[in-house]
Structures are given as structure tokens and as C-alpha cells.
Structure 1
Amino acid sequence: MTSFLEAWRHRPTHRQVWSLAMPMMLSNLTVPLVALVDSTVAGHLPQTQDLGAVTVGSAVYALPVWSLGFLRMGTTGFAAQAMGSGDNSALRTVQAQALLLAAVLGVLIGALMVPVLPWLVGQMHSTPLMTGRALDYLHLRLLGLPAALLNYALAGWFIGAQRARTTLTLLLVTNIVNITLNLLFVLGFGWGVPGIALASVAGEWCGAIYGLWRTQQVVRHLDGHIDWQAMRGWDHWRPLLMVNRDIFLRTIALEAVFFSLSLLGARLGDATVSANALLFNGLMLTAFCLDGFANAVEALCGHAIGAGDQQALRRALVVAGGWALIGSLAYALLFGLGGHLFINLQTNLPEVREVAYSYLPWLTALPVIGVWSYLLDGLFIGATRAREMRDGMLVSVMFYGLLLWLTRGLGNHGLWLAFIAFMAMRGLSLAWLGLRIRQRRAWVM
């Protein structure tokens, strides 16, 4: 308890946590804003198929982008450890590796997706006209895939280098260009659905160009050099690729859980699936805040591990964990007292409202239960221990599947019980793995 209080009272760590967490919270808030503008602009086009085409196209485009999020997470840990050890050559090399990997994957996966786009869009069972417009959208949208992945790598490197404000600026450039050109191309020039796609592509490339320019400014002040000779060998790529492989598998498993929630919820009726969608918006709202503290943990814990500083590692976990707990309790209070208002702001359909009200207790409990999985993900990302993250996720998914089967007679309450238990198991499994690593004194070598 004494060491815990000493860590909590360390004011410099509080300042470090907030200097990293706040920009990331603001960055997260820009994501739904862009989606809102896209749907709003498409919703004002003359044909109803236009909005559907953008919705379907965005969902298909999100598949490779979200699945390749390991480019951000994997880069953060290696960059944070290189910075903590004071090895500027390693910091430069990590950046070069991440950008090269992002560029290659962006071109390769973009090319591979083109022939399968008709099949992917066909799975949405849209009308022929909507399908045609969605394909037009996607053929243009894929031009921005390399830039989107470069932005992941750039954001991960900036977070690891404790430059979260630059990450915020990178996302602001991307999203402001996207929003501005959306209005210009669609409402000004009348380009319709292709205009929405081109605005998104331009935003992603402007963000990537800005990010590359900022990296040049940062590395100009660093000594050392990129180890091109080492990058030619497999041994230098193996750690990054292995970490990214495990994070990718972990992400696919997580996607499977959310897909199953949508699929099983849809079988319970239109009102139930609509109510669940409103409640899961509450989950996304909590993630905007709590993920900011997880990002701070990634950078600070990775830095402490790279520096071999056990005390700094403890301080980062205690301070970020304390603030994340306070944030989760605040969200629980918000949903507990204002849950009905939160639902009412999203819909005026009486049937959907009544169904959503009955499941509000699950949403109220979710922030306090889920916060620990976010924080511990940050610790393992900063430590580049993706294998343990993968194993913890797979155990949690199997536990979730077992509970789904056991509670199949409870309807939507069974679905929510299984999901809450899945979030709890994510935290518990990572905590158990973390304690085992601590017992071996292996967090800080």
C-alpha cells in the first residue's frame, strides 16, 4: 500500500499521463465526426441509394483498415522502448520499418481487394443500383489505403516517442481536409458518391504527407542513423513481424465477438437489435476517454521498460489506472442517472426506447468492468508482449462462446451477460499473465 500511495503521489507522472491521454481523447473524438459528416452529406443526395452505397462501401473498406491496426500498436511499443533506452538509431529504424511495412501492405492488400469487391458488396444483399454505386465508391476509396496505413504507422511512432499532440494534429489534418472537401466536392461541385470517396482519399494522403513532414522535423534533431544493413536481414524484422502477427490474430478474434453480437442480436427482432446498437454507442463513448489512458500506458510503460526503470513502470500503471478508474466510475454514474436521456437523444421510437431501457443496467456496469482490459492492453503493447495479448484474447473468446451456449435461453440478457463476462475475462486473463511475468521479474530486464 505504501508503494502504491508513493506512486500515486508522484506529480510528474500525473502530468505525463495527462499530456499523453488528453490529445488521444481528442483524437478519438474526431473519428465519429468524420463518419457523421459522410453520412450527412450522403443523406442529402437525391437518391436514397447514395446513402446506402456510402454505408456499405465504408463497412467494406473498414475491414482491411481495422484488421491492420497492428501497424499502430506494434510500432508504439518498439518506439517507446527505443526512446526509453536512449537509442536514437533504433528509434529511427523502427520508424523506417513501420513505414515500409505500411506502404507494402497498403499497395498489396489494395490490389488483392479489387477482384473480390463485387463478392464482398454482394454479401450486403443490396440492390443492383446501390451495389454499383458502392463499387464506384470503393474503387476510388482504395486509392487511399496506403495512406491510411501510413497514418497508422506514423501515429504509433509518435505515441511511442511521447508526441501525442502530433498524433492529434495528424488526425485533425486528415479529418479537416476530408470534411472540407466533402462539402466542396458534393455540395459545391455535385460529384455525388465519388466526391465523398475522393474527399476521404485526399484527407488520408494529406494526413500522411503532413505526418511524414513532421517525422522529418523530429528526426532532424536526433543523432544516430537508420540501420539499413540490419534491415536487410530477417532477424531484424522478425520481432516486429511476430508482434504484428499476434496483434492481428488478437484483432480478428475481437472482431469475431462484435460480429457475433450483431448477428445474434438481429435474430432477436428489429427492436432488440436497434436497442443494442444504441447501447453500444455508449460503449464507444467510454472508449474515447478510457483509450486515452491506455495510450498513455503504452508510451510510458514502453519507455520505462526500455530504460530499465521498474519504479517508473509502477508509477505509470498506478497513475493511469487511478485516473481510468475515476473515469469509468464517472461513466457508470452518467449511464446510471442519465441512461434514459442518453437513449431518448438517439431515438424517438417508443418500442426501441422501452427495450433499451430494460438493458441499461448492463451498460452501467460495462465501463467499470471493461476499463481494466483497455489499460492492460496498453501495458502489453508498450512491452511488445503481443503473444500474451493474443493468448488472453483467445481464452476470453472461448469463455464468451461457452457462456453464449449456456445462456442461449435468456435472450438478449444472455447476450449481454456473455459480453460483460468476456470483457471481465479479458482483464482477468491479462492480469494473471502480467502477474506471472512479474513473478519472473521479466517486465524490466
Structure 2
Amino acid sequence: MTTHHRRVWALALPIILSNLSVPLLGAVDTAVMGHLDSPAYIGAVAVGALVFSYIYWGFGFLRMGTTGPTAQAIGAGDGAEARAVLGRAVLIGLSVGALLWLLQTPILALAMNLLDASDEVETLAAEYVRIRIWSAPAVLVQYAQIGWLLGLGRARAVMIQQIGANVLNIVLNLLFVFGLGMTVEGVALATVIAEYAGVGIGLLLMAPALRGLGGRWDMARLRDPARLKRLIAVNGDIFIRTLCLLSAFAWFTAQGAASGDVVLAANAVLLNFLTFAAFGLDGFAHAAETLVGGAVGAQDRDGLRAAVRTSTVWALGTAGVMAGAYVLLGDLLIAALTGLPEVREAAAGYMLWAALMPLVSVWGFQFDGIYLGATESRPLRNMMILCLGAYLLMTWALVPLWGNHGLWAAFMAFMGLRGLTLAVLYPALERRVTGTGSAVKA
């Protein structure tokens, strides 16, 4: 295996393993609720989790906007700037987390008004939200920690942090629901405890990285107006891009909810398949992000090309394996996620859409990593706005004709357009890297 391939796998494999623990946690949430006596429990956790996806992933720039600048600082040999990137991200995370605490009541009211679910689902989802909101500062600080560690190329540390927190979450889920007889409140409380544990694990893992980084903490650099202006611009673009992506998922869930609790639950089950694929393929996107950031920081066009080519080849191969596994094992996986016959039957009818999704969505994941590593945030923002508009138009046209199949068709087209639109703009990104050094190393 060549140096470039080894470097991609050294970064991607720990992230794949840690990322897969995230949808595993979502699958356990679904399975735990799916073995209770009503589909409303599955729907409530799906709706509640959607609310937090919208909130927390909306601030995903704390991860996505940290990896690229950190990698570029390391590529340029600037340890002090790498520290400053971390400091800025943590301060923003703590501030936003405290703000979310203060705004929890209007957030909950808005979310329940926007989602057209049954009264029972809304009541249970509201209980879930009221508990889980208290994890907000921990979630956002973890984003900063993960982004910074990835920028340093310390993917194994991220794996330990993520798997440790998520395994604890799963154990607490089972304890609270099956051991103590709790329902949605047990799932939410388990998540809150695990998120704060994750911050503690992250701090322990970051300590040796900080000792070996070089440079020093420089408050003047941390507050530098030019760097802050650039940070705000990049993070603003990523925020809008992420908001559009989450809006697409929210629209998908809302449209499913309008078709009844069984369709809502079936779509929630199948979205676990997409989430598994996304977090698995995202490992190669993270590898591309770190390597592209280092290449851009060193102005190394050859390193950029090698990072993009090698990570994408492995991502495509992995997407093909995932799609094949879903086609062969779909019915078994659905049965593992829910014991409700009506939900199993409904999910099986839409299984092919979920099975083929990795082959379509992989391009969007890869180009996200490439553009984030280069801190080229404006194309990410603009193309996502375009894709969201096209998606909404497609659902307007297709759902009345084909029902939930039309919804899945529009969603698949949206995922494909994400990659296609960014691919068109990629040659211009490559031309802006002018040197031919050697940033991609073993």
C-alpha cells in the first residue's frame, strides 16, 4: 500500500469506527423504543432527535470550521495559531450552549409547531427535549475538541472519545429503560450524562497533544480582528450550509409525519441505514479534510490531488460494499430495529431507496471534506442553498404523485445534487493552490 493510501486509512479507520458508534447509538434508541408497546415512542425519539440535530448540527461549524484551520496551521508550522483556533472554538461553544439553555422554551414551542405529528408523539417528544437540552454546552465543546484533534491528525484520540461516550450512552439507555422502567426520559437522560463524560475524556486526550504542539497561548492572537473576521465569515457560511442540510432532513421527517405514525416510524427506521452509511463514509471525508488542510497550508498542489484522489477511491469502494450489504440484509436489519409488524412491513416497502443511498450520497460527503479542509466555505453554502431549493420543488411535485416513494425519490436526488454541484466547482479550488511541495506524508 502506498504512502498516500496508508495515510488515508490511518486517518479514516479510527473515524469510521468512532462514527459508527454514533448511528449505533441511534439504532439502540430506536430499538429500545421499538420494543415498547406503541409506535409513538419511536416517533417521539425520532422527532426529539431531529430537534437536536437541527440545533446541534446547526452549530457543527465548531467542528467543521476547526479542523481545516488547525490542519492549515500545522501545515504552515504555526503551533500558536493551532492553539488559538482551539481557544476560539471552545469559547464559542460555551457561549452558544449557555444561550440554548436560556432559549429552551421558545425552541421547544417552535419545534412542536413546525412538526405535524400526533398529540401523543408531540407530548413524548417535548419531554425528551426538556431533558436533553441540558447537554448543550457539552455537545458544542466536544465539537471543538473533535475538530481540533482531527486537524492535528489524531484520529485515534477522537475514536477513543466518541466510542467511550457512546458506549456509556448505550449502557445507560438499557439501564434506564429496561432496568428502571423509564421511556423517552430515560433515553434523554442517558444522553445528557454521556455528553459530559465525553468532554472529560476529550480533555484527557488533548493534554499530550498540547504539550507536544509547541508555540504558546497568545490572547492577542486569539482576539486578532482579522482572524476573528475570517472565522465569523467561514463559520457563518458553514452554519447556513448545515441549516439547509438539516432543513432537508426536517422536511423529510415532517412529510413522513403527515402520512401517519406508521410511515413516520418506518422512515425513522430506514434513516438509521442512511446514518450508518453517512458516518462510515464520513471517515474518508474527514481524512480528506485533514490532508487537504495540510496541503493547502503548505501550498502543495500535488499533495492536494493525492489526498482527494486516494480518499475518494476508498470512499467509493466502501459505499459499494454498504449498498450491497443493505440489499442482502435489509429485512434482518429492519427486524432488529423494531418488533412492530406494521412498521416492519412499511419499512420493507421503501427499503430499496435506503439501500442505494450510499452510492448517491458518497460524492457529497467527499466534497464536503475537501472544501472544508481548504476552508472554501462559500461554495458549500451556495450549492447547498441551490440543492435545498431543488429538493423542495421535487417534493412538491413528486409526493402528491407517488406518496412516500416520491418523498424518498426527491431526497435521493437532493443527496446526489450535493456532490454534483461541488464537483463542477472543484477545478477552480485546485488552481488556487499554487505550490508543489510535499504535504502528504506517512
Equivalent position amino acid for 2:154 in 1: R
Matched with 1:420 is 412
Aligned residue for 2:214, secondary structure, equals: coil
- Deviation of the 1:404 alpha carbon: 3.3
- 1:383–1:443 CA contact under 8 A, matched in 2: no
Structure 1 residues 443 and 147 mapped into 2: Cα distance closer, same or farther (>3 Å)? same
Superposed counterparts of 1:126-275, under 5 Å: 131=123, 138-182=129-173, 196-267=187-258, 275=266
- Deviation of the 1:35 alpha carbon: 3.7
Aligned residue for 1:159, secondary structure, equals: helix
Aligned residue for 1:222, secondary structure, equals: coil
Alpha-carbon separation, structure 1, partners of 2:187 and 2:261:
30
Matched with 1:442 is 432
- 1:57–1:121 CA contact under 8 A, matched in 2: no
Alpha-carbon separation, structure 2, partners of 1:23 and 1:400:
33
- Deviation of the 1:151 alpha carbon: 0.5
- 2:338–2:344 CA contact under 8 A, matched in 1: yes
- Deviation of the 1:21 alpha carbon: 1.0
Aligned residue for 1:399, secondary structure, equals: helix
- Deviation of the 1:66 alpha carbon: 2.2
Matched with 1:282 is 273
Matched with 1:431 is 423
Percentage of pairs with the same residue: 42
Asked if 1:390 is matched to 2:387, the reply is: no
Matched with 1:331 is 322
Q: Which has the higher mean CA deviation after the structures are superposed, 303-312 or 106-115?
A: 106-115
Matched with 1:70 is 61
Asked if 1:291 is matched to 2:282, the reply is: yes
**Residues 305-345 of structure 1 deviation map (CA, whole Å, 9 limit, x = unaligned):** 11221111111111111111111222333344455555565
Matched with 1:3 is none
Q: Which has the higher mean CA deviation after the structures are superposed, 323-332 or 343-352?
A: 343-352
Aligned residue for 1:226, secondary structure, equals: coil
Alpha-carbon separation, structure 1, partners of 2:29 and 2:390:
37
- Deviation of the 1:58 alpha carbon: 4.3
**Residues 383-432 of structure 1 deviation map (CA, whole Å, 9 limit, x = unaligned):** 11111101111121222233334445531443333223222221111011
Q: Which has the higher mean CA deviation after the structures are superposed, 255-264 or 189-198?
A: 189-198
User: Please, what TM-score do these two structures have when normalized by structure 1?
Assistant: 0.84
Equivalent position amino acid for 1:178 in 2: N
Alpha-carbon separation, structure 2, partners of 1:47 and 1:277:
14
- Deviation of the 1:277 alpha carbon: 4.1
Aligned residue for 1:434, secondary structure, equals: helix
Alpha-carbon separation, structure 2, partners of 1:43 and 1:362:
22
Q: Which has the higher mean CA deviation after the structures are superposed, 195-204 or 296-305?
A: 195-204
**Residues 118-167 of structure 1 deviation map (CA, whole Å, 9 limit, x = unaligned):** 56457666669984x76665444333210111001101111111111111
- 2:273–2:355 CA contact under 8 A, matched in 1: no
Alignment: residue pair count: 433
Equivalent position amino acid for 2:410 in 1: A
Alpha-carbon separation, structure 2, partners of 1:55 and 1:357:
18
- Deviation of the 1:382 alpha carbon: 0.5
Q: Which has the higher mean CA deviation after the structures are superposed, 185-194 or 20-29?
A: 185-194
Structure 1 residues 352 and 23 mapped into 2: Cα distance closer, same or farther (>3 Å)? same
Structure 1 residues 184 and 240 mapped into 2: Cα distance closer, same or farther (>3 Å)? same
Alpha-carbon separation, structure 2, partners of 1:404 and 1:60:
21
Aligned residue for 1:245, secondary structure, equals: helix
Alpha-carbon separation, structure 2, partners of 1:79 and 1:354:
47
- 2:87–2:222 CA contact under 8 A, matched in 1: no
Q: Which has the higher mean CA deviation after the structures are superposed, 413-422 or 12-21?
A: 413-422
Q: Which has the higher mean CA deviation after the structures are superposed, 17-26 or 376-385?
A: 17-26
Bigger Cα Rg: 1
Alpha-carbon separation, structure 1, partners of 2:260 and 2:173:
35
**Residues 243-298 of structure 1 deviation map (CA, whole Å, 9 limit, x = unaligned):** 11111111111122222223334455666555544443332232132111111111
- 2:241–2:384 CA contact under 8 A, matched in 1: yes
Alpha-carbon separation, structure 2, partners of 1:52 and 1:11:
47
- 1:308–1:444 CA contact under 8 A, matched in 2: yes
Matched with 1:375 is 366
Which runs of no fewer than 5 residues in structure 1 stay unpaired? 1-9
Aligned residue for 1:108, secondary structure, equals: helix
Alpha-carbon separation, structure 1, partners of 2:38 and 2:408:
37
Aligned residue for 2:221, secondary structure, equals: helix
- 1:21–1:295 CA contact under 8 A, matched in 2: yes
Structure 1 residues 336 and 60 mapped into 2: Cα distance closer, same or farther (>3 Å)? closer
Which runs of no fewer than 5 residues in structure 2 stay unpaired? 436-442
User: Please, what TM-score do these two structures have when normalized by structure 2?
Assistant: 0.85
Alpha-carbon separation, structure 2, partners of 1:173 and 1:338:
28
Structure 1 residues 280 and 444 mapped into 2: Cα distance closer, same or farther (>3 Å)? farther
- Deviation of the 1:24 alpha carbon: 1.1
Work out which of the residue numbers 100, 103, 113 in structure 2 matches 1:109. Answer: 100
Q: Which has the higher mean CA deviation after the structures are superposed, 240-249 or 261-270?
A: 261-270
Structure 1 residues 19 and 344 mapped into 2: Cα distance closer, same or farther (>3 Å)? same
Aligned residue for 1:102, secondary structure, equals: helix
Q: Over the residues paired in the alignment, what is the CA RMSD in angstroms?
A: 3.4
Equivalent position amino acid for 1:430 in 2: L
Equivalent position amino acid for 2:71 in 1: A
